[in-house]
Amino acid sequence: MTSSPFFSVIMPVYNKEPYIRDTIASILAQTFSSYEVVMIGGVSSDNTDVICREFVEKDPDRFRFVIQTGKGVSNARNDGILAARGKYVAFLDADDLWVPEYLEVMANLIRDFPGAIFYAGGFSRLYSDGSVIECPNHLRRGYIDYFQQALWVHTSALIAAKETIIDVGLFKTDYVLGENIDLMIRLALRGNVAYEPTILEVHPVGRPGSLCTSGAKNIFLPIPGEPELFSTERTPQIIQFHEWQILGMAMANLDRGYPKEARKQLKGVINNRKK
């Protein structure tokens, strides 16, 4: 690749041998060509890394393989972000799929709404029984207020400028779950989000090895956005959003066997209303 790509696709890879070829195929099918793929791994116990290196050997200008420096998806994504050559980073998990127009549609969104702090698109959840639930949130294309509209964004439909993510501190590596929400909160505290309601990504749910189904049992979960949400301007929308985060994580921690910590988190709602 003779010049810096517009997008760097950041893809952590860990034990995704059954799915990763399909994921990479969805990248290669993109109608927008100015991108590189940064795969971060080196710790898989199956043939995931071998498959990734095959693509690097075939097209080293398009594909790169980075050995991750720490454990977990946050460390892997951070390694990929720091290695990226593109102005914008687009995240794609190794078992998710993009529609062919994904990068083209998002490039147009960036062009039309250059003042956004990050960019998000609609996605669908694909369940093992074949059922599909679309998640466009019924929002119009353009600038939105992340906190007021409580937008749910999937990581594989999220794009932001590389330098912006570095500036807010990258992904927090001590988060087992919710690291993506935490990053989006810290980004959204700095400005508006631009949203594209078109369904652009497919997220298969419940696959073996998914962190969402197997990675958070008996692990205490912190509240995304702390302490940043306490130090920023306390608008009613941000207070309400933060209370929702506290309640959600407290309930999750009750299920995980952390009642004392959950009660402490629930007191945060009361403290919020006193400020």
76-133 pLDDT tens trace: 999 999 999 999 999 999 999 999 999 999 999 999 999 999 999 999 999 988 899 9
Q: What confidence score (pLDDT) does residue 207 get? A: 64
Q: At the topology level of CATH, where does 7-210 sit?
A: Spore Coat Polysaccharide Biosynthesis Protein SpsA; Chain A (3.90.550)
Query: Which neighbouring-strand residues pair with 195?
Result: 120, 142
Rg (alpha carbons) of the chain, rounded to whole number: 19
10 Å Cβ neighbour count for 264? 12
Separation of alpha carbons 110 and 194, rounded Å: 8
Q: What confidence score (pLDDT) does residue 63 get? A: 98
- Per domain, the residue ranges of the chain are 7-210, 228-269
pTM of the model: 0.90
With tokens 């994504």, the residue in question is 77
Q: What is the pLDDT of residues 197-228, one digit of tens each?
A: 999 999 998 766 554 444 455 678 888 988 88
SS3 20: helix
How does residue 137 score in pLDDT terms, banded at 50, 70 and 90? confident
The mean pLDDT of 176-183, rounded to a whole number, is 90
**How would you class 131 by CB atoms within 10 Å of its CB: exposed for 0-12, middle for 13-18, buried for 19 or more?**
exposed
Residue 250: pLDDT above 80? yes
Separation of alpha carbons 29 and 102, rounded Å: 10
With tokens 């195929």, the residue in question is 25
Query: Which neighbouring-strand residues pair with 194?
Result: 119, 143
The beta strands (E) that lie in the chain are given as 7-12, 35-41, 63-67, 88-91, 97-98, 118-126, 132-135, 142-144, 158-161, 193-204
Q: What confidence score (pLDDT) does residue 216 get? A: 52
